[in-house]
Structure 1
């Protein structure tokens, strides 16, 4: 009889922020880890895994990754959605971790081998005002980064997405009893942010990639006008300019600007981005293994995107654990249409719980050569960081109307 899964364990820990991890163990004693973290709704996924998925995994052959994926996706009948897809993602990552460990090689080798020397990443430079942002950009460039995302506080607004109190670690999920509420003015944003881009290019020039996230807050017309206005600053991409539920809205943006568009960190399946990719309405697809069905499904998405000249730009914020970060890096190393990888530092506590082989050098992440994903979970240490409920913020316009966060 071939090897079988004999244990499936869900581990919830909060070393600075909440993470949900699936640990699978085979009869041969090989373990695999998968990330199932859904920021602000972690226990929904933990329960889905514990009550409905883990019992189905016991006795299954860990080598049958594709069959297990379809079994959990098609077999549930209720398909897609963030909770279901994060759960499937955790199983898929863990099974790929086991397969690569059994083969005695890092995962990227099983995915086709090395396609580049390293994974170019971008850092997050943010500040309350333009001078603070410029100082942060300088710090990233001095550390060897080749790409930097910039976000700035807007005069008259108390809190703005992407601007953190802690310059090193950005964690938006903070409210424990109720979500934090922020106020927003699109008019103030559109007036001020181009001044930031001008200041960055004036001080640092054009020898690095410059990025910015609008965080779904513009209408298609506003995004088209904004993208055209900032073309002279040569952004590598403008991220999430407008909500992506209406995919044909991006046609309006593309008809008016050549500023590249990146979308997809909240997407769960290939169907969420099918039209955007096939009609070339975006330039970068930002899905991540934890939210979009694991290594197997993200690989399918980026291979589909490659047919239309759309490149990868995987989400890499701290709402994915080092397990998912490792999975993303292994995919980045192996795919043909790699674009850029987001990289936000985890806290020292998180890195102690999730010891990992990947490392940063010369503006790139490198996966290391350990078999599998190259991540080890310290369960005893994880147990010392109990779950703490935390909500993502909500956003209102200045008149109190609920708006996109």
Structure 2
């Protein structure tokens, strides 16, 4: 069974997605997500110009060999564009293999290790009272874990706070908007948010927070220590992952669990963090870390070092990626938590899927393959629209991580 056709589909049902659809010579199809938020067309071009031509005629069942061919065969390896393109191919091939076998992909990965995938929602608002109201709404929906993001007094905008509480999309303009940041105001405010949350919701609800790479190691250590009384499930991306020695400093000053990895693309970029047990959760995603094949390697390494999964799952990952993540989540032994931001009705119409939410868990479904597809006619009705992520500046104009 060989790959006879490969189509790169760019669509924007409310936000931009890139999807690779493979078709075999006997008509079996597979889909893979290739979305890189704010850089979608770079991956689309990489696929069309450099990957699709070498896929045609290849054996569809040789998933590992195809992965190695695309990775080792590219002299310029790694990086988000390359690894996202490889992920799309890999995920689509797993989808095909599952359909041919007549089994959901998780069965090919060893079967269930749990009954459902615990997910967390995003509670956000301009004020603490707004956020707590959202937390209450998520608990009423059955969520067992919630991430809290709040407007910071004195700042006109803050990462993670949106006008639409359920469908947050930070890529808000063709040219990046500029936000202003104050570390001092942030560090002073955040402990109050979590003190109030624990007082209202008690110790049973898992609470999370995303720093979004904005602190230095000593600032992150200070925040982690200040949040210790409130028992966070994790503190996400406290510092940029570029200088990984910084996590050692954080680890020496706080017992608040640390999660990192959504901008990490390969096992070589996180092996040190895992082996030295400098993090508690690895947040790499199927689409940005080379697909199911490579992300499973990362999770297997993590399992040896008491590090659990916590995969990225924002709306810049299409339902194709979310479905693939669920098949991995339900099969690995060291699952921790899965981010789940619901897609819009327009997105769901373009990507019909079998996964579903119930009682705080996502379930991948029992359809052969990934259990998700792309409606190409519906996709064509939503053409690409330029959209960029914001940038951050300090009050004096200095650029700062967003």
SS of the counterpart of 1:89? helix
Q: 2:391 aligns with which of 387, 391, 394?
A: 394
Q: Which residue of 2 aligns with 1:229?
A: 226
TM superposition shift of 1:67: 0.4
What's 1:112 paired with?
Answer: 110
Q: 2:120 matched to 1:140?
A: no
Runs (4+) of structure 1 exceeding 6 A deviation are: none
Which residue in 2 is equivalent to 1:22? Answer: 20
Q: Which residue of 2 aligns with 1:39?
A: 37
Pairing 1:81–2:79 present: yes
> Which residue number in structure 1 is paired with residue 274 of structure 2?
277
**Quick one: which of 298, 301, 306 aligns to 2:298?**
301
Within 5 A, what are the aligned runs for 1:198-347?
198-347=195-344
* Alignment-derived partner of residue 100 in structure 2: 102
RMSD between superposed Cα atoms in Å: 0.4
Report deviation, 1:332: 0.2
Normalised by the length of structure 2, the TM-score is 1.00
1:380-400 deviations in Å (ceiling 9; x for gaps): 010000000100000001111
- Post-superposition Cα deviations, 1:87-108, rounded to whole Å, max 9, x if no partner, equal 0000000000000000001000
Rounded to whole Å, the distance in 2 between the matches of 1:181 and 1:271 is 33
Secondary structure (helix, strand or coil) at the match of 1:355 reads: coil
TM-score normalised by length of structure 1: 0.99
Matches for 1:173-212 after TM superposition, within 5 Å: 173-176=171-174, 178-212=175-209
Aligned to 1:354: 351
How much does 1:230 deviate?
0.8
In 2, the alpha carbon distance for the partners of 1:52 and 1:219 equals 39
Residue 171 (structure 1) shift: 0.2
Distance 2:307 2:250 in 1: 16
Which residues of structure 1 form unaligned runs of 5+? none
Distance 2:271 2:245 in 1: 11
Distance 2:114 2:236 in 1: 25
Deviation at 1:376, TM superposition (A): 1.6
Q: How far, CA to CA, are the matches of 2:42 and 2:172 in structure 1?
A: 18
Structure-2 separation of matches of 1:398 and 1:205: 37
- When the two structures are aligned, how many residues end up with a matched partner? 402
CA distance in 1, matches of 2:207, 2:184: 22
Q: Does 1:49 align with 2:47?
A: yes
**Following the alignment from structure 2 to structure 1, what is the Cα–Cα distance between the partners of residues 231 and 128?**
18
Q: Distance in 1 between matches of 2:205 and 2:106?
A: 27
Q: Residue 8 of structure 2: SS of its match in structure 1?
A: strand
